[in-house]
Structure 1
Amino acid sequence: MGEARVNGRAVNKKASPELIKYFFPYFTKPAQAEILFRDDTAVEYGNKLVTKYYRTNAGGKHHIHIASQLGLLADIFINAKVIDTHIRDIADLLHPKHYDNIIKAIQLRCGYNNGIFKSPTTASNCCTLLLKVGKFLKCEAIKRIDNIAEKRYVNFEYLLANSQNHDITRQAQDNKTQFQRQKKEILPSTEEINGLLKVLDIEVTSAYEKACSNFDPESYTALAKASLAYLLVFNRKRPGDVEKTQLLEIRSMARVDQEHLSKLPGDDKKHAEQFARYITQGKLNKKASNLIPKKVEQAIDLLVQKRNEIGIPTENQYLFARIGSSSTRLPYFKADEALKLICQRNELNYNRLNANKLRKHLATCTAMLSSNVQNIISDFMGHTMAVHQNVYQQKQAHTDIVVMGKVLLEASGVSQNDNLAPDLPGSSKTHLDLDDHESLRDEPFELSTILEESNNNVEIKSESRFETKRKILNTISIPRRTSRTPEKRGIRNLFQEYIEDLKVPPIHEVQDILVNKAPHISRNITKVRSWIHAEINRIKKRRCGTRVHRWTTPERHKVRDHFRTYFDGFKETFNRNYPSNEELNEAIKTIPEIKNKSAALLRSKIQHEFRDIERLQHTELEAETSFSSESS
């Protein structure tokens, strides 16, 4: 064992300095510390996590992830040790003979009782973690050329990968889905969010005035937390997308230039002058855009100008940096903690106003907007459209009742005067009109296209089955919406540079151009991009001279006359004797009408002529046979 000690405990000599300094102080529980500080596998795997995720210039970006992985590994071993006291260490635990004990340890750790996991997500994470540790130990065994250990870890990995589904994962996933269905998602109201923004506005203004009069560590902390919480709430971002903002990103913030500003209408111009935008690193290394109001921008300028006066280290490049440095703390303020503190101080319900609830509120209240606008919103929030619709947009009862209630009644032919028709909120009509919701759909939809079955029995004959199917398909199909000439001309002008360079623009560029320069075009961005792709393909075909080779009647006559001996011989023997390449090339030089044809094309034409002759003779033979039979 080495001489290094953490919290009064000796640390394994294999532990890296970063692991000792930044991560081991997290573990204050004696049982966890005893395992992680002394076990060779835990220390070596921790070193690997530090090497893989931790970077000095990231300033502890992955502190929580690494610490949670090591803590979970220690918990699994502790529970397995309770079940079987003969298990020596983590390397001994990952053995096929201990598989059943591992499953029991995971169930014990995650509160499994009567087929229900108390923490189903943690149960799935335990299996994933053990697979990663098993692969790590297998790689180390390969390095040592230890075939016995390698085979053992390969068998354990195979056993866990193929058995965890029915032992842990499936039950955990079922429990997680059941919890989500039973959980009632209560989103904040617009009035609550507006009240929170007013409180944050007062907090920023008060902290800014105090910092201007006396800039000390206390006023700096208050101003940084108030500005951080305001940006989090206003932009509806994940906490990490705001709290990890760096100075370099703030210095490169952008505004709407004068050229675009002069083209905007009054309201849009007013909004454009009110905000600035900067881009930071979001989840999965994606770009995350944040808007900064003018009042918050003034506070941020003050934080940047005087950060050196209160002792913030130079190497700490985070905008909302903590004062001083510590191995057990992140180098920046946490956005969710700042928001929670302000909510508690102003007697607001933080559980209804946290970042996740605010993001779901934005996605849900904009669910009825067009697909183009929803694409912009999902991109700004930092996730895909599928995540936006399936995770953040919440199914609201009033949407299904009001919108789908009217649609289903109209489709069923039930009017509101009938007994089957319920009283819908906000409706005083005696007949339901789907045109009330015309703005809610992108494509035209007519209920008259729904096929109504007749009460009469319809007999479908076998010889007319195809025609009947075609009639049905024509009845229920919706006419395809084709592009009009003005739309094509407008799209071609907008993306002229891409089309001339024969490059298909990325989807986000198409989205930006359509929103900023052509809001009148109602086409979906994917359809516009597909049209550009097709236009580029048409240009490529025209440039390379691609066309269908067709033979004119004079050309066919010349070919038949020149190669008559071959055609006459085929009529007599039906043996296909083709002319040689020399004869083909000589014919091309001799016959002016086919001088632009190739030898291969001419040979193909002769082959087609053979087929025509053969088909003609078969037809004549069948005609003679039928005539003789009728005469007899």
Structure 2
Amino acid sequence: MGSDVNKHDYIRQKMREVGRLLLEARKITRLRSMVDFIIPANFKQVISAVKVVSGYDEEKNCYRIPSLALKLGHSLNKICSIVESNAMMYGDHQRAECARDFRKIHQKHKQFLSKLRNCPSAKSYSALAKVTLTQVILFNRRREGEVSRMLLAAFKSRDSSELHEDLAICLSEFERKLCLHFTRVEIRGKRGRKVPVLLKPSMVSAMELLVETREVCEVPAENPFLFARSGAMSAYRGGECIYRAAQECGIKNPEALSSTKLRKHIATMSKILNLDENEADQLADFLGHDIRIHRQYYRLPEGTLQLAKMSKVLLAMEKGTLSDFKGKTLDEIEIDPNEQFEPLVNDMSSDEEDCSDPSQSASPEETAQLSGSQKDQSSLKAPKRKWEDIEVKAIERHMMRFIKTCKVPGKQDCERCIEAEPEALKERTWTGLKNYVLKQDHNSQKKGCFVAV
């Protein structure tokens, strides 16, 4: 990434993280260089150093900075690949083998995937099915019974079509990438309702391999389940798979890691996000919770909406970085779907400055409550200037997605528009642009469009 100036801050951050890990390891372990970290015999020492850097509390059994521990894990995996490549180039086969052994310890899922592909058997099939089932349940925070009983037909009939242009225009560039990155499968949930499951590419690859090797691994053709047992008509139980994985990880209370408690966890953690009622309904609907009041409004098709919005929450939960987005809405959360990512902290401070016209900056309900005298007084203080055609066209070139989706732009969005059209908008402020778009939103609301302020 060195050739990209915009990524230099990211590079510096990663170097600081790994540097702190190395300095701490030199204090408490025998590790002296990053090459020492990828020796399998030193794995426990690596874990000790990561715990110290991330502020692990033995008594409370929790991390002060859990996201740092996860990021260091990803960085160590990349370092392992670098060491292995260098060792192979210089003919150091022993060091290359050490790197491969370290990766086997670090990546259990890929090991089972490779084993089933190269040497299919009932045992290797069972191992991959269990670990994949566990990953899908943990990532989606889904009820373990729902995922366990996922039908083979449901997986085969998953929607793999490209995102339609008419829908793409209503999503941000980041959300469009998420729709291409994730796959959505509909399964039968509680009380027979339809519930979605989002799959990462690695999960899809593993599940496709399970389907391909069913016959050779002695899975009955009549077994309707995707996570089917060899030689039986039943499926693996997700609860047992999670419990066994928790035990193998060596955690103190494996029974505390269950699908029910994970669902309560994401519901509780979502409270720190600044979700409006619409977004809270989306999250509740995705998790399969009852919604007492369903708001009627125009929205994207359910599948596209869940791919674009819910995958961001699930990624943040998996990476342990949900707390980094405290106070943000779903639209403001930005996460790279790849393993290396930087939480984007946007300055959505569109409400930091008072608008010249309160009737424009207020919500529709607040505007209706303004008295006539208040509106007249506001107009005297800040007389309105008519928007010229050249200004309107400049705004529509850059802000049409906000107008079409009835969303209020933030300060940065307005400032970027002004910077892109310096001549046409030289006499306008970012608050003026925001109020103009808001006014268009209000006009759209009268026509039946939902305004998310």
Normalised to the residue count of structure 2, the TM-score between the two structures is 0.43
Query: Which structure has greater helix proportion?
Result: 1
Normalised to the residue count of structure 1, the TM-score between the two structures is 0.32
